[in-house]
Structures are given as C-alpha cells and as structure tokens.
Structure 1
Amino acid sequence: MILRDWQQEAFSNYNQALRQGTRSLLWEAAPGAGKTNAALAVCRDQLHRRGRRRVIVVVPTRHLTTQWATAARRWHIHLHHGRDAGNWWTADYDGVAVTYQQIAQRPDYFQYHSRDTLVVLDEIHHAGDGLAWGNATRQGFAAAGFVLGLSGTPFRSDENAIPFVVYDDAGISRPDYIYSYSRAIADGICRPVAFLSYGGEVSWRDEQGTMSAAFSDGRAAVISRRLRVALEPGSGWIQQILTDADRMLTD
C-alpha cells in the first residue's frame, strides 16, 4: 500500500514516539482523509517488525468492525470481527475488531488479553472518563503495549476527559499529529462542504383543510410540519435538492 503524504508524516510521528519510548499517540485527521490506512500501517509495523502479539481495534458501532476487517485484509492483516469470543485469539487471526460497548461489558477480560498488544481506538472521542465506555477503555487497555487513538474531533461536549488523551492547561486535547480539513481540501483528498439555501412552498392537507407555507414563513406553527412534508419522497421538493447535490459531486 502506498501512503499519502500526510499518512507518511503520521507514520514518522509514530516512529519518533517509539524512539522516545512513548506508549500512546493521538492522531487528529479530517473525516474521510484516510485514518484507517494510516493506522493499519502502524498495525503492520507492530505485528511484523516489532513482534507485537496481536492487534485490538475498537470502534463505536458494529458495522465499523466489518469495515476495519475488510480494510485490514488489504494489508494482509486478519481481524476477527464476529461475536464469538472463543475464536478471537486463535492463530488464524492477527487480532480482533470490537466495539466500545463490548469493552464496557468485559473490561477485565480485555485487560488480560491486551498485554503486549497494539490497541487502536477509532473515534476515540466516543469514550469519556466517568462514563461506562471511558472507564472500561482505560481499565481494559492500561497494560497495552501501545495505544493509537484516532479522531476527526478529539473533544467532547461534556466535561469528561477522553482516555489516553493529553490535555493542556485550558483543557484542550493535544494531538500528537494533526491533518486538518483545510489541508485535506488543498491536497484534493476531501471536498469542501457547501451549504446551499433553498426556498419554495409546500402544501399539505390536515383537519383544517389544505394548508401551504413558504420556507420564508417563520411562524412556529408551520415550521415542523412544513419540513416533514418537504422531506417526503413524493413531495417534489427534496428531489431537486438531491439532483443538485448529485450533479455537484459528479462534476
């Protein structure tokens, strides 16, 4: 696999951490920039060059375990992502992809199995200290050989700190490497977000008869119903927005 420029920079950051004896890193990269492949480069290095026993990848949702396992195969890394824990640690696999919820259910189990293990915490901001996922994540991987945290938004709206994340005096997280959204756009990796304003008028029937309202109508009584009607597949309003969006993405 050929790494993008930023992924090579992140990998250099990882090598520097190893030289300094650092056991955990946080990479902040824009959504869609390619965090998974950057992390899998670390997984391959840890497994094949550093003698690490296994990899544990932790994600927020079940479908992401499948995505990680699929992506890992392209790096010749085999991650078990099923629910049968009895088969997780067989010689057929290099590790597992599990959810934060699974960690919260059995933190002692993962604490035992994460010794001398690389742990990748994807979307690490989902885990907050003081919450079930955060407490279990910190406990479960306290003895891990190396921890790599990934996030496009390494902060929380509540006051709970994120496990394995370093904060400055103002309580702001301090990533070890940052690949910004603006740079991702400049590099042609991510597209700029466009916020377009649409007007129009929609009509509906209710117990009062036929009603209609333009989007410029600010009456609280019609705002919710107007939006629900506009978003219905047969409304004729949402189709134009989807058509315009498709054209902008394919041009």
Structure 2
Amino acid sequence: MATAMIEKQVPRYNFVDELRGVAVVLMIIFHFSYDLRMFGFASMDFQRDFFWWFLPRLIVFLFLFSMGISTCLGHWPKLKKRSFFIRLAKVGGGAAAVSLVTFLLFPDRWIYFGTLHCITLSSLAILPFMGRPWLALILGLALPISKWVFKFGPTWFSLKHQSMDYIPFTPWFGICLLGVFAFHHGLHKVVILLPQTIKVGLQFLGRHSFLIYIVHQPLLYGTVYLVWMIQR
C-alpha cells in the first residue's frame, strides 16, 4: 500500500495573531486620524506630539517583532520552501503595489521602502539566524541601539523626497531578530488574559493582517474624502 508523506502541522499559537491584531487596530486608528487631519476634520500634530510620533513606530515594531516569531514558528527547524516563498511573493507583491500606487497618486511622497518592503527583505535575511537565538539577540539589540541611541551604524539607502512610509532595513531588521530570540524562549506560548470576544477579534485581525494592511487605507481615505466632498 502506497503511503503519502504528510507534512507535520505546526500548532497555532494565538499570541502571535493577537500581537498582530493589536498592531492592526493601532494602524487603523493612526491612519484614520491622519486622514481626518489631512482633510481638516482634526488638528493633531504628528510631528511634535510625542504620542502621534511614537504610535507609528510602535506599530512597525509590533509587525516586525511578530514576523520574527512567526517565521521561526512556521519554518524552524526545517524551512517549508513552498509556503515560505508563496508568502514572500505575496508580501513582496504587496510592497510593489504600494510603491506603484503611491507613485501614481502621491509622486512627491511615494513609498519606495516602507513596512512591507522591510518585511520582505527581512524575511530572507532572518533565515540564517533562526537557529541562532543568542546571535539574533546581540545583533537585534546592536542595530537599533547603535542607530537610535548613539547615532552611528550602517545606513540604509534613501531617496531625496520625504516618503509617506520609510522603514529602513537597518536598524529595523534588528526588531525581527529580537522576535527570533523571543521564539526560542517560548514567548509565542504566552496566553494573554483578555475577554474571549476581544481575543477572538484580535486573532481574526492578526490572521488577516496582510489583506487589512493593503485595503484599509484606501477605504479610510476614500470614506473621509467622500465626507469632505459632501460637506464642501
């Protein structure tokens, strides 16, 4: 009798989905607030107000940190090439779409290396570190600390214009590496003490974070724009 090789299923740990779900909620809040300000419905200062300066950086941190955990969770100790490269192509395609659309609509602020671009490159760069948690920790701390605290270290490329979303590979790749270390120390097994309805909602958002990332801003922007047109 012929036997089929069945790939062992990786257990689903809800913490990673919930973490991404929190990032999605914060992202929607930030972008909706940004759109309201753009059309004059609100007056937040995104440059000088610490909360609005810190919020987008927290969002990126959560996305990259959870990516480091989930990559190890799905592909350690053995890389599942098919699912890995399908996901890589999906995220990379999303990054390319973001660049194209923003170039056409906002040519003076278009996104050439944003969050999805950083995740795409980091997904490849993280592979040699998945089995080296202490090396990942050392480099994961060294990259952001050297750049953000001591103002030195490798500099990622940048174009002359001010992009709407610029997430340089260095030092942000360090946050992904911290996710590797967290995985090897069991952070993905943590159970968050929240009401079940909230947990289920966050898990749903986390599991569909890529789709929500792609579609939420056009929907928010379009809605606010429509209201603005009606009230003119």
Q: Say which structure, 1 or 2, has more relative contact order (CA 8 Å, 6+ apart).
A: 2
| CA radius of gyration, larger in | 1
TM-score, normalised to structure 2, is 0.24
Higher strand content, 1 or 2 = 1
TM-score, normalised to structure 1, is 0.23
Higher helix content, 1 or 2 = 2
